[in-house]
Structure 1
């Protein structure tokens, strides 16, 4: 350790590593501590499943720390709304002023832990139903520290698996065999997770969804409807809404190979029989007639409907009735 490092900083870092073990990360440059990072959870004893909130504390040590205050950042809050997070930040700034001139990292960890313990109930809304979390709600915390009502998450996972199966049924068999199996993911961050859907389904509905007042069209909503209708009319007049008042070409439609096959079958069933070439008679065919009668075949591009099947490039060998690589009709 360099002699230029303040002994107070050295003692603090050693104490943090001895107490927090692997839960603290100390970043060094040339053996000089530059930043300290740790994830702070509420105090729940050994019951980790009851820790519903957390936040990452990052402390960047300045060159004159602890005589100068370090740079403190709270990152990746989980289960905390903006108001709770702002309150914690305010307490951190106050603690930095009180402890100026002495190591403060451990004090900050304890301060944040106490605040999280008092707010150890997910704040904000369930992103599935948009109702908040109240007393009596049964909710679940994912491995990525996102919270949902158990009943809402069950409905989301059931709908997601149903949509996955519908999309799989549209694929050919060889693609279905190569496709990965269905994987449950977090509705917020898409991290993989594993939940017992049947157990989640047995949970009751969110309390606020039952006790919420019936919907009524208030004056505020009516004013908002009028404003949005005026905005929509302006967008239509400027051509900003596709499909309404648009006299131009239709928008691009993305189809699957099965759609092309169905359209091709429907076209071929209603298309007229291709005309056969008339026999050649001397003196009755013009300059263009000689080429068309000699080289044309039944179902040539001049008489058959436009090709809508799979990509032609998959079969490039010349066959009767199809074009070869040279662009002429293949003959035997």
Structure 2
């Protein structure tokens, strides 16, 4: 049974595919368009490197569209804080009310693009230095659309490479040979990135870090320090912090009675010494038997497997044993 589709919806879908081409995805259900999805960028002409923000627009065409408003979702925002997103959602809701009864997807794309063009500067904070982005900052947009001050990202990548090389040096030689080379990753999503560290580290520090007042220990910070110190002491008292305030042996250390005696006398032994003592300490000898008959009686009966068959249940061992006895 064929389902009738509003001609206005068909024309809108065809126009979107003709203009946006591969940049728009149309999900069809039983031949009827249900979801329209596209990534909206700010207007920067052909200079895509200057597109610092974006958002994915998803429009779900409800039954009865366009006489009924569709469901609109803004997903995967990049470079946009919550305030900007809330403002865009507010304008989208208003646009849906104004355009009720007519196709609205093109209107929504244009509305969102205008907002992104006005806000084509990353908002929020650089996750490395925790300072915001201001006019005059030199920052970089990674391939995964995350933003950092160029100098901050250079410091992060340099430190990451040094740490990786230190860990590789601890490996045995055969593992060093097969160890993969260091790969730059995004500090936020851990996606692989390609950055020129030498060029990034020549960038100046962020504007806010230069103009920020010097650190001053306020009464609020002092109160917070006292609160955290009390919490740490409580955790240590309950054994919740390993290695802090623990005067006993390290966890999972094998000890012997001699170690306990040494600890009682005030001397300390290392974990290695405790392990070595546990290995070489002889087991206590059993008390001597009163007589040979008593020892034989005290010794438990041992059951030895029949030697006439090997482990696979095949004959052979008994014959070899007999030959050797001769």
Q: Considering the TM-score relative to the shorter chain, is it more than 0.5?
A: yes
SS at match of 1:8: helix
SS at match of 1:27: strand
State the alpha-carbon separation in 2 of the partners of residues 15 and 231 from structure 1: 62
Question: Are 1:224 and 2:189 counterparts?
Answer: no
Larger radius of gyration: 2
SS at match of 1:67: coil
RMSD: 2.9
Deviation at 1:251, TM superposition (A): 3.4
The equivalent of 1:14 in structure 2 is: 14
8 Å contact 1:134–1:207 — kept in the other structure? Answer: yes
Deviations 1:203-261 (A, max 9, x none): 111111111001111222222223323333333333322234556663369xxxxxxxx
State the alpha-carbon separation in 1 of the partners of residues 248 and 58 from structure 2: 56
The equivalent of 1:5 in structure 2 is: 5
State the alpha-carbon separation in 1 of the partners of residues 3 and 235 from structure 2: 68
Q: For 1:188-207, list aligned pairs within 5 A.
A: 188-207=188-207
Deviations 1:45-100 (A, max 9, x none): 11000000000001111111111111111111000111111111111111111111
The equivalent of 1:316 in structure 2 is: none
The equivalent of 2:59 in structure 1 is: 59
The equivalent of 1:330 in structure 2 is: none
Question: Are 1:87 and 2:92 counterparts?
Answer: no
State the alpha-carbon separation in 2 of the partners of residues 83 and 21 from structure 1: 31
8 Å contact 1:2–1:32 — kept in the other structure? Answer: no
The equivalent of 2:169 in structure 1 is: 169
Question: Are 1:45 and 2:45 counterparts?
Answer: yes
The equivalent of 1:123 in structure 2 is: 123
8 Å contact 1:39–1:56 — kept in the other structure? Answer: yes
8 Å contact 1:42–1:120 — kept in the other structure? Answer: yes
SS at match of 1:174: helix
8 Å contact 1:44–1:50 — kept in the other structure? Answer: yes
State the alpha-carbon separation in 1 of the partners of residues 242 and 140 from structure 2: 41
Deviation at 1:4, TM superposition (A): 1.1
8 Å contact 1:236–1:245 — kept in the other structure? Answer: yes
Distance verdict in 2 for CA 1:107–1:2, change over 3 Å: farther
State the alpha-carbon separation in 1 of the partners of residues 54 and 80 from structure 2: 8
Deviation at 1:102, TM superposition (A): 1.1
State the alpha-carbon separation in 1 of the partners of residues 62 and 249 from structure 2: 62
Distance verdict in 2 for CA 1:110–1:251, change over 3 Å: farther
8 Å contact 1:185–1:191 — kept in the other structure? Answer: yes
Mean alpha-carbon deviation: is it higher for 241-250 or for 38-47?
241-250
SS at match of 1:182: coil
Question: Are 1:152 and 2:152 counterparts?
Answer: yes
Distance verdict in 2 for CA 1:240–1:11, change over 3 Å: same
State the alpha-carbon separation in 2 of the partners of residues 119 and 252 from structure 1: 56
State the alpha-carbon separation in 2 of the partners of residues 249 and 59 from structure 1: 62
The equivalent of 1:258 in structure 2 is: none
State the alpha-carbon separation in 1 of the partners of residues 228 and 197 from structure 2: 39
SS at match of 1:137: coil
State the alpha-carbon separation in 1 of the partners of residues 38 and 206 from structure 2: 34
